[in-house]
Amino acid sequence: MSIWSSWQVWAALAAVFAALTAIFAKIGVENVNSDFATFIRTIVILMTLALILVATGQFQSPGSVSPRTYVFLVLSGLATGASWICYFRALKIGEAAKVAPIDKLSVVLVAIFGVIFLGERLSGINWLGVALIAAGAILVAYR
């Protein structure tokens, strides 16, 4: 098994890039409207993903995607956009070291929503971890 087929590696990389996102974004929104900064970021993401899809031959025919998949991807996109807008506005007026942990309360919400909506199951030790993440985020953001 290749290291690149491990979900843990990709999740760890996501955490590193999310941390860099907060630092770069905090610097980037200093002298620009936070919504415009989000717009620029989105354009960069679209261009990067288009290049990756073309370069790797992963582009799919839009007709090969089911309507149900489109509905949930559109909902996910709307949620992502709302999250980014809120995140950049928070970074514009708050400290990155305090904004990011509150944003990461999404981990807690994903655990709860995963159980409620997806039927996922978490053990007692998993719930303890979720509670510690929540407590840690609150403590880091505490004044």
pLDDT, one tens digit per residue, over 53-80 is 999 999 999 999 999 999 999 999 999 9
Query: Average pLDDT by consecutive 10-residue portion of the chain (143 residues)?
Result: 88 91 92 94 96 95 95 95 94 92 94 96 98 94 80
pLDDT given for residue 48 in this prediction:
97
Overall pTM surpassing 0.85 (yes/no): no
Q: How many angstroms separate the CA atoms of 107 and 137, rounded?
A: 10
